[in-house]
């Protein structure tokens, strides 16, 4: 069974982003939700297996920055990714955020 985890780091402060709402979607429908913990992590976002298909991982960074009295241009950060075939892989897709931008990479 393929699994998915994420973490979010505010690179402008060097701190984990606790309390960011994250949604996993497939084919335009939300299939899982989570909120980052005190370490900015969600260890297991999906309850069931991730099968072959197109997915979108969305972090509500605009709300998170606003709750801290900080302005940002971006309402959300999104990672569109594909699982080509059902496998026993783990996908770790972190977000590096700042008020002026965001980035990602495939972690381990």
Predicted confidence (pLDDT) per residue in 16-32, tens digit: 999 999 999 998 899 99
pLDDT number for residue 26: 93
Predicted confidence (pLDDT) per residue in 41-54, tens digit: 999 887 777 888 89
Architecture (CATH level 2) of domain 3-99: Sandwich (2.60)
Answering whether pTM is above 0.85, one says yes
Spans of all domains in the chain:
3-99
Instruction: Quote the percentage of the chain above a pLDDT of 70.
Output: 97
DSSP the chain: --EEEEEEEETTTTEE-TT-EEEEEETTEEEEEEE--TTSEES---SS---SEEEEEEE-HHHHHHHTT---S-S-EEEEEEE-S--S-EEE--EEEETTEEEE--B-
Predicted confidence (pLDDT) per residue in 57-67, tens digit: 999 999 999 99
């Amino acid at each position: 069974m393929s699994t998915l985890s994420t973490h979010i780091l505010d690179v402008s402060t060097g701190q984990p982003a606790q309390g960011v709402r994250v949604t996993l979607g497939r084919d335009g429908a939300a299939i899982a939700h989570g909120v980052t913990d005190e370490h900015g992590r969600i260890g297991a976002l999906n309850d069931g297996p991730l099968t072959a298909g197109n997915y979108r991982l969305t972090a509500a960074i605009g709300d998170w920055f606003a709750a801290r009295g900080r302005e940002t241009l971006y309402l959300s950060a999104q990672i569109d990714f594909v699982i080509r075939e059902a496998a026993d892989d783990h996908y770790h897709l972190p977000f590096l955020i700042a008020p002026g931008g965001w980035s990602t990479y495939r972690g381990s």
